[in-house]
Homo-oligomer: A and B are copies of this chain.
Amino acid sequence: MIIVKIGGGEGINLQGIVHGLAQLKEKFIVVHGANALRDKLAEDLKQPKKVVTSVSGYASVYSDETMIDLMMMAYAGARNKRIVELCHQHGINAVGLSGLDGKVVQGVRNKAIRVYQDAKLKVLRDFSGKPETINKGLLDLLLDHGYVPVLTVPIIDEQNNAINTENDDVVSVLQKTMRAGTVINLIEAPGFLEDKDDEASLIKHIAAAELEAREQQVDGRMKRKMLAVRRLFEHGASRVIIADGRGEHPVADALSGKGTVIE
């Protein structure tokens, strides 16, 4: 089993990625983002994304009801269905699901986010949370009958509300349940970089044991990403590959060891 996460950046080569997925011999599950599309849609609809930074230093999108609608449109709507369309064009029998569908990804809504706004500490509650459980029965049902699940946010909370979450966390809980051997994360960079502004500073290998130390050296989203990778190993992954989703053959390149290979 392989879990393939496809980033939601503008430069991601969906066509190339799906072409590569069609060559895989193992079963796989796709998790994808759509942040560029969501941001563009929000801008076009004059509903700019609100980003808040929690007191513990994690930046996240503030998800009111309007933002959840936007996410449904961008992630579960246009992006998910265009990926599913591409999959079928490459012979992959894809079924696109948000976390709501069959409660395939269920989480717990954040009680409150403590944020600094205009230099003041505020307590906000939005429609966001953390994924906790995967409906393995539904995924196995699909996989056993030849379907490839293509998952995205939003997910569903314990009160059956649609909530936003980080796709990295979805991959983490998915890995915990499905125990993939390999997790591939296709992003808009050659892999993890020593210097985020220098694509030549690619870190080619990381030992899984190093992850915790590295996590302390970085901030914000990157910190969260490192933590997410560490959890994948805690949940039985033997190899995590962070690789470029922009090239001509992102999946084959990743599997041949380009990018950051963590094992």
- Interface residues in chain A, defined as those with a beta carbon under 8 Å from any beta carbon in chain B: 41, 44-45, 69, 72-78, 80-82, 84-85, 88-89, 93-98, 100-103, 137-138, 141-142, 145, 147, 154, 156, 159-162
Contact = CB atoms under 8 A, between A and B. Distances in A.
Copies in the complex: 2
10 smallest beta-carbon distances between A and B, as pairs: A77-B77, A73-B73, A73-B77, A88-B160, A72-B81, A89-B160, A72-B78, A95-B102, A95-B101, A72-B77
Main secondary structure of the interface of A (DSSP, over half): helix
B76 A69 contact: no
Nearest to A81: B72
A75 B95 CA distance: 16
A141 B137 contact: no
Contacts of A85: 100, 156, 160-162
Given A77-B77, A81-B72, A98-B96, A88 B156 contact: yes
Contact of A76 (B76, B94, B161): B76
Contacts of A147: 102, 138
Contacts of A102: 93-95, 142, 147
A263 to B, nearest CB: 34
Nearest to A46: B44
B137 A145 contact: yes
Contacts of A96: 97-98, 100-101
A37 to B, nearest CB: 9
A149 B82 CA distance: 20
A153 to B, nearest CB: 10
Nearest to A70: B78
B77 A100 contact: no
Given A73-B77, A85-B162, 7 more contacts: A74-B77, A84-B100, A88-B103, A88-B160, A93-B103, A94-B102, A141-B141
